[in-house]
Structures are given as structure tokens and as C-alpha cells.
């Protein structure tokens, strides 16, 4: 089509370095070279860009709007064009060496896609094609696309474009594919001229192409066509390509994907439709756009048991239901009987399963059978084409699409899409910062808020004044050792000893208060070799501590500054034990429930495959 050939001339000099023919020097009017200018930028580190381009074809008095997207890393490019009020979307997929031309002639008409092999397409001039030795191909670099490394490029000094100071570079080349002699002028902003994207580079703002080319005659839509007209003519052309919003990135990566609802025949079968289980259930949301109706249906399918159930609310216009109350339909394919129940009244209707049901298939005019899992989803009717990964509700989905000419009746063309949650690697990464190999503070593991006042007890013991200096010069260590002693004596978890407080009386005797929590309210799931020991109840733990104190057996060890090999044993007074203290109404400062819980943290990388048990389909008029 004419538009495609016009787009082929877009940036005609940018993808070409073929000079096997003879350059017509009459088209060359190169300016005088200026010495000392900056070299033309090569964009060697530019792997992505997007730009808005206004193509003004002065020789024929027409303008084309183009949005260009480039992705070298993923080997793909896209042109989004508008001319004569119709849009053409060109996607270059170098992974399969194909170009997808998607045309939408009017805003109300569904787009139509054609698939073209890249090797035989003249459109390669836009993004180019670097062929490999194994029949592979890759997109041009930016320098190749803009023909920036061509011999004969001269620096023509500075000028102004749209009010911006720019550097101008000029080149005359011959393009053998279209037998074209072309003078091209490039305009880049000065490297120190600010741009909106804070990109430290010279930014392209205009390219002009003027010369003589061999090509098909130009026609506007609706022009009469002369059947005797030559298919190729030589003509002068004069094009100006103004480049706006040149960004060194692509903001929306979906521009490289075939749009939803568009079927491109001829795409290679790069991925098969996933297998479907023999039994499943799901909820469907059905959107009927033309009359703004939304409905829902819950479906249950069990092929091995030959049973299907679906729950739904009939539409007011439905002729197959018995009102508009919620209905429960059960199909028993063992007997061929349908049970339809009104979910409000409980009324039930029994009737044969018809061959118009979505879960049944006619065997003959009088009998039906249950559809298998592929027939249930209409996968058996036509071949589906993989359309790539698209995002739906934040979920990456594999999408398959096809067109049908038999639904809802023969001769009607509809497109069908199925979206399945994609199988993709999911990584959870725990990064540890400020790593400390010392024991965490006990209050980090506090659980006391899980226990009401009746499930805790406040206790106090006293130690002789002789240990005053050892204890109060190292309170943290003493609290740690105190907790260990209570855990061992009361046979409780370290989490059950909380809120250790230190004080002293007028005689400098050391007063230690702490709270004991009751055992956990439920049985845990921890594995214990040989079986887990039952937790000590609160009162039993209190009795054990009281017995040890009163028998002069409750001791706390502390380092001996005089002899590190022989720690001090601080023994509590046997007659100073108290368990009649008021339980604090709220947690207090001090050591809390996780006092002996250790820290085992590091960086964990967990790879999980999350895969496709969910999906939905969309059908629309094609």
C-alpha cells in the first residue's frame, strides 16, 4: 500500500549505506565544511529511545505523524503512524524476523494485522537488519539507523532550529534499493544545551532529505487509478523530519507488543497453549459492552465424574431461565439430566441437557456428550497464536488469540483471546544491613501483649549488697544471666520471662523484679526428635522458682574480675522471695520476652515458579 511505501522513505538515509549505484551529483548542494566542529554523535551506549517525529513531505504537500520506539537489547522496534486519518502500527520483531503491520482505517473499525517476513520487506530501511550466519537477524545500532558512520559526512557549523542552537552535519549518498540520490542534513543540539531529560548528549532535532528517487506513483485515498500508469517512476522529493521529545529510554514497554484483541496470522508457534486440568472451578466476569451489562458466573467442572455446575444470575432478557433470581445449574452427564434450582425459593426444575449448553456437544440429533477440557474452552475449534506477555490487573499473562467465523453464528467473524497467568520466576530477596554478630536485644522478641493480666505473675528476689558493684556496673550482663537462671529453674521458654527490673534498698541490697508469662495458648508445630516436652504451666513455674530461692539454690553467675576462670555465684536471699506484687498494666522498660531468641539472618534468594492455573478469554467482533 502507498502508506507503507511512504513510511519506507521515513528517515530514508538513516538505515542505508548501499552505494553500488551512481550518485546523481545534481542533487548534492553540500555546504562548505567547517573545521574544528564536534564529531557527529554515534550514540554507542544508547540501547533505547523513543521520539515523536513530524514528517513533512513538502514535494507532495502532506504530513505524517510518527512515534518511534527503539529497543536494541530486546531486538525490537515500533513505528506508530497516522496519515489521512488512519493509523498504522508497525512492530519489528527480530526474534522471529517478522514485521507486524496493524492498520486501523477508522476509529470504529477493528484493526487488521498483516505479517511480513523481515528479510523480504523494504521496510527494513527504518530499523535495518544485521543478518547473522545462522539465519538470525538483529536491529541496527542507533549509529547505523541514522547512517552516522558514513564516509563523506561533513560538519557544516552551527545554526538554529526551532529556537535551539544546533550543530549541522551534511551527507550525500546513493541508495541502491530505490535508486535514490539523497542529500541529508542532520541537526543536533549543542551538548551543553539543556534538555528535559537531563541527558548529557547532543540530541537530534531535525533531519532533512532531498533528492531524486525511483518509486511507485503517489496517490491519495480516493484518487482514481490509471491502469496504464507505470508502477515505478522517478521523482524528486523534499522531506523534513522534525524530531520532538527524543528520550534516551522507552517509558512504556508495551509499545512493542501486539495490542490486545489484534490477531496477526502467520506468527510462528513460539508457545503452546497450556494444559488444562480435568477438574477445576473459577468465577467469570462477563462484560457485554454494547449494552453495558456486567454479569458473573461461578463454574465447577469435573470431567472424570462427568459433572458440571454453574451459579449465576440470569439477565432480564434471558429466555432459558425461570426468572431473575440467582440460579444453580447442575449437569449430570452420567444421565444427561439438568437440575436447575432457584437459589431464593429453592424450586428445582429437572430437564434434559440440551446441545446448546456450553459444556455439551451433540452426538446426534437426540443425544449429547460432555465436552472435554479443551472443548470446554473452545480450544479445539481453531488454532490459537501466541501473542506474548501482557499485564492484566498487575499480573503478567501469556496471551493466545485467534479469529473465528462460526460464532455466534456461521459467517460472523470474531476474535478470541485467552489470558493465562504467566509462568515466570519470582524472587524474594532479603538484604541484611548493619549486620551485628552480637546477640539481639531481648525486647526485640516481645510477646507480652499476647497475654492478659491473669496469665502473668510479677515476682521479686533479692541479692546480697556484697554484689552491688558487680551488678550495677554491668546491668545488661546481669539481666542476661538472670534470665538464663529463671529459664533453667522454671523450665520455661525465654519468651516467658519479661520486664526484668533492677533496684536496691537503703542497705544496697539488690532488688530484682520480673514477670513470668503463662504457657502458649495453643500447641505449636515445631518438630522435636523423640517428641516435645509439655510446657510448664505458670503456677508450676512459679513454684519451681520459689522452691529454688527458699532452698538457697537460686544463683546467678557473673564474671569474676579477680579470676576470669572462676565466675562469681550470686545466690538470692532465701527469705526475701515475693510473688504478691501488682502485675503492671502495660509493658515496662527492661528485658522482655525474646531474651534468649537468637538471630539467624542472612540474604536469602528464593526462586519460585508461579504458574498458570487461571485465565479468561475475550471475544469481540473482528
Identify which has the larger pLDDT, 574 or 379: 574
| pLDDT of 425 above 90 | no
Average pLDDT over residues 285-303: 79
Question: How do the domains of the chain map onto residue ranges?
Answer: 2-223+230-253, 277-376, 442-521+536-571
Can you spell out the DSSP letters for 191-223? TTS--TT---S--EEEEEEEEEEEEPPP--TT-
Q: What is the DSSP letter of 455?
A: G
**pLDDT number for residue 508:** 94
In angstroms, the CA 216 to CA 231 distance is 5
Judge: domain 2-223+230-253, CATH 2.60.120. Answer: no
Kindly report whether the peptide bond that precedes residue 56 is cis, defined as omega within 30 degrees of 0: no
Rounded to two decimals, the pTM is 0.58
Which of 80, 76, 124, 82 lies closest to 96, judged by CA? 76
Task: Answer whether 242's CB lies under 8 Å from 163's CB.
Answer: no
Angle at 430 between CA 425 and CA 432, to 5 degrees: 155
574-588 mean pLDDT: 74
**For 42-92, what is each residue's pLDDT tens digit?**
898 899 999 999 999 998 889 999 999 999 999 999 999 998 888 999 999
Confidence at residue 341, expressed as pLDDT on a 0 to 100 scale: 80
pLDDT higher than threshold 50 for residue 618? no
Locate cell 527524543: which residue? 246
Q: Which of 223-237, 239-253, 317-331, 605-619 has the lowest mean pLDDT?
A: 605-619
Q: Return the pLDDT at 276.
A: 82
- The C-alpha angle with vertex 367 and arms to 366 and 369, in degrees rounded to 5, equals 160
Residue 168 has pLDDT above 70, yes or no: yes
pLDDT band for 421, please (50, 70, 90 cuts): confident
CA gyration radius for the chain?
Answer: 40
Is the predicted pLDDT of residue 147 greater than 50, yes or no?
A: yes
pLDDT of amino acid 227: 64
Q: Where residue 569 falls among pLDDT bands split at 50, 70, 90? A: very high
**pLDDT of 268 over the 80 cut:** yes
**Sequence-separated contacts (24+) of 228-236 with Cβ below 8 Å:** 234/179, 235/59, 236/59, 236/211, 236/212
Q: What gap in Å lies between CA 1 and CA 82, rounded to an integer?
A: 14
Tell me which architecture the domain covering 442-521+536-571 has in CATH. 2-Layer Sandwich (3.30)
Going from the C-alpha of 356 to that of each of 207, 333, 341, 342, 416, the distances in angstroms are 61, 14, 19, 21, 19
pLDDT at 465: 93
Q: Does position 112 have pLDDT exceeding 70, yes or no?
A: yes
Q: Which is it for the CA torsion 302, 614, 356, 343, positive or negative?
A: positive
Span 371-413, pLDDT tens digits = 998 888 888 878 888 888 888 878 888 888 888 877 777 777 7
What pLDDT score does 230 carry?
64
531 by Cβ neighbours in 10 Å (0-12 / 13-18 / 19+) ranks as: exposed
pLDDT at 609 (0 to 100)? 28
Mean pLDDT value across residues 538-551: 95
Q: What is the pLDDT at residue 522?
A: 65
Q: Are 479 and 591 in contact (CB under 8 A)?
A: yes
CA atoms of 308 and 295, how far apart (whole Å): 19
Give the number of other CB atoms < 10 A from CB of residue 331.
23
> Is the pLDDT higher at 40 or at 420?
40
Question: How many Cα neighbours within 13 Å face the side chain of 389?
Answer: 9
Query: Which pLDDT does position 78 carry in this prediction?
Result: 96
**What pLDDT does 16 receive?**
46
Whether residue 564 has pLDDT greater than 50: yes
Q: How high is the pLDDT of residue 540? A: 96
Q: What pLDDT is stored for residue 435 in this prediction?
A: 35
The pLDDT value given to residue 429: 35
Query: What is the predicted pLDDT for the residue at 524?
Result: 57
| Residue 287 exposed, middle or buried by CB count within 10 Å (0-12, 13-18, 19+) | exposed
pLDDT at 249: 93
Q: Over the range 178-193, which residues count as b (16 or more CB within 10 Å of their CB) and which as e?
A: bbbbbbbbbbbbeeee
Provide the mean pLDDT of the chain.
79
Q: How confident is the model at residue 189 (pLDDT cuts 50, 70, 90)?
A: very high
Q: Give the pLDDT confidence score for residue 292 in this predicted structure.
A: 73
Number of other CB atoms surrounding residue 203 within 10 Å: 23
The closest alpha carbon to 141, from 50, 52, 66, 44, belongs to 44
Q: Which residue has the higher pLDDT, 36 or 307?
A: 36
Q: How far apart are CA 370 and CA 331, in angstroms?
A: 9
- 370, exposed or middle or buried, with CB in 10 Å at 0-12, 13-18, 19+? buried
| Distance linking the first and last C-alpha atoms of the chain | 21
Q: Mention every residue, 6+ apart, whose C-beta is less than 8 A from residue 240.
A: 55, 56, 58, 206, 207, 208
Assess whether pLDDT exceeds 50 at residue 360. Answer: yes
Nearest to 585 by CA among 423, 436, 433, 458: 458
Residue 166: helix, strand or coil by DSSP?
A: strand
Amino acid at each position: 500500500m502507498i502508506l507503507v511505501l511512504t513510511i519506507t522513505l521515513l528517515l530514508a538515509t538513516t538505515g542505508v549505506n548501499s552505494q553500488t549505484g551512481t550518485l546523481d551529483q545534481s542533487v548534492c548542494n553540500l555546504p562548505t565544511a567547517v573545521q574544528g566542529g564536534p564529531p557527529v554523535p554515534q550514540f554507542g551506549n544508547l540501547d533505547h529511545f523513543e521520539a515523536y517525529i513530524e514528517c513533512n513531505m513538502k514535494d507532495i504537500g502532506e504530513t505524517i505523524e510518527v512515534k518511534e520506539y527503539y529497543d536494541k537489547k530486546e531486538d525490537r522496534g515500533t513505528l506508530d503512524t497516522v496519515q489521512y486519518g488512519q493509523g498504522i502500527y508497525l512492530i519489528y520483531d527480530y526474534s522471529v524476523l517478522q514485521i507486524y503491520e496493524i492498520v486501523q482505517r477508522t476509529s470504529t473499525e477493528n484493526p487488521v494485522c498483516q505479517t511480513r517476513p523481515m528479510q523480504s520487506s523494504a521496510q527494513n530501511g527504518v530499523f535495518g537488519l544485521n543478518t547473522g550466519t545462522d539465519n538470525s537477524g538483529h536491529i541496527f545500532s542507533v549509529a547505523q539507523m541514522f547512517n552516522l558512520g558514513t564516509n563523506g559526512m561533513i560538519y557544516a557549523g552551527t545554526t538554529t532550529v526551532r529556537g535551539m542552537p544546533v550543530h549541522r552535519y551534511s551527507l550525500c549518498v546513493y541508495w541502491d534499493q530505490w535508486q535514490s540520490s539523497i542529500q541529508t542534513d542532520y541537526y543536533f543540539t549543542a551538548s551543553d544545551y539543556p534538555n528535559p531529560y537531563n541527558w548529557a548528549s547532543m540530541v537530534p532535532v531535525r533531519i532533512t532529505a532531498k533528492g531524486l528517487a525511483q518509486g511507485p506513483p503517489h496517490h491519495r485515498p480516493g484518487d482514481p487509478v490509471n491502469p496504464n500508469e507505470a508502477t515505478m517512476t522517478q521523482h524528486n522529493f523534499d522531506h523534513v523530519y522534525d524530531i520532538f521529545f527524543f528520550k534516551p529510554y522507552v517509558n512504556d514497554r508495551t509499545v512493542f507488543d501486539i495490542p490486545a484483541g489484534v490477531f496477526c496470522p502467520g506468527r510462528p508457534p513460539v508457545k503452546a497453549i497450556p494444559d488444562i486440568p480435568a477438574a477445576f472451578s473459577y468465577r467469570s466476569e462477563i462484560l457485554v459492552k454494547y449494552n453495558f451489562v456486567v454479569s458473573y458466573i461461578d463454574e465447577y467442572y469435573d470431567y472424570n465424574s462427568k459433572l458440571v455446575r454453574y451459579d449465576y444470575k440470569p439477565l432480564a432478557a434471558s429466555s432459558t431461565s425461570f426468572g431473575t433470581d440467582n440460579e444453580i445449574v447442575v449437569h449430570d452427564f452420567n444421565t444427561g439430566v439438568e437440575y436447575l434450582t432457584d437459589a431464593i425459593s429453592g424450586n428445582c426444575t429437572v430437564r434434559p441437557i440440551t446441545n446448546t449448553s456450553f459444556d455439551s456437544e451433540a452426538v446426534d440429533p437426540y443425544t449429547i456428550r460432555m465436552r472435554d477440557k479443551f472443548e470446554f474452552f473452545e480450544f479445539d475449534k481453531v488454532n490459537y497464536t501466541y501473542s506474548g506477555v501482557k499485564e492484566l490487573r498487575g499480573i503478567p499473562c501469556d496471551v493466545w488469540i485467534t479469529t473465528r467465523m462460526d460464532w455466534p453464528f456461521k459467517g460472523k467473524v470474531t476474535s478470541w483471546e485467552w489470558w493465562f497467568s504467566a509462568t515466570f520466576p519470582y524472587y524474594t530477596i532479603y538484604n541484611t544491613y548493619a549486620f551485628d554478630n552480637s546477640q539481639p536485644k531481648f525486647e526485640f522478641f516481645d510477646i507480652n501483649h499476647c497475654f492478659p493480666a491473669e496469665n502473668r505473675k510479677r515476682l521479686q528476689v533479692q541479692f546480697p549488697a556484697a554484689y552491688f558493684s558487680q551488678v550495677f556496673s554491668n546491668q545488661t550482663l546481669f539481666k542476661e544471666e538472670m534470665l538464663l537462671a529463671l529459664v533453667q529453674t522454671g523450665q520455661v521458654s525465654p519468651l516467658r520471662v519479661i520486664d526484668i527490673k533492677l533496684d536496691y534498698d537503703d542497705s544496697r541490697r539488690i532488688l530484682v523484679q520480673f514477670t513470668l508469662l503463662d504457657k502458649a495458648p495453643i500447641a505449636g508445630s515445631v518438630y522435636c526428635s523423640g517428641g516435645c516436652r509439655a510446657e510448664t504451666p505458670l503456677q508450676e513455674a512459679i513454684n519451681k522458682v520459689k522452691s529454688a530461692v527458699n532452698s538457697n539454690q537460686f544463683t546467678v553467675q557473673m564474671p569474676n574480675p579477680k579470676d576470669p576462670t572462676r565466675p562469681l555465684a550470686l545466690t538470692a536471699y532465701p527469705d526475701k522471695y515475693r510473688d504478691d506484687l501488682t502485675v503492671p498494666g502495660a509493658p515496662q522498660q527492661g528485658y522482655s520476652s525474646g531474651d534468649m531468641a537468637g538471630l539467624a539472618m542472612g540474604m536469602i534468594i528464593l526462586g519460585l515458579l508461579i504458574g498458570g492455573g487461571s485465565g479468561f478469554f475475550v471475544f469481540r467482533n473482528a
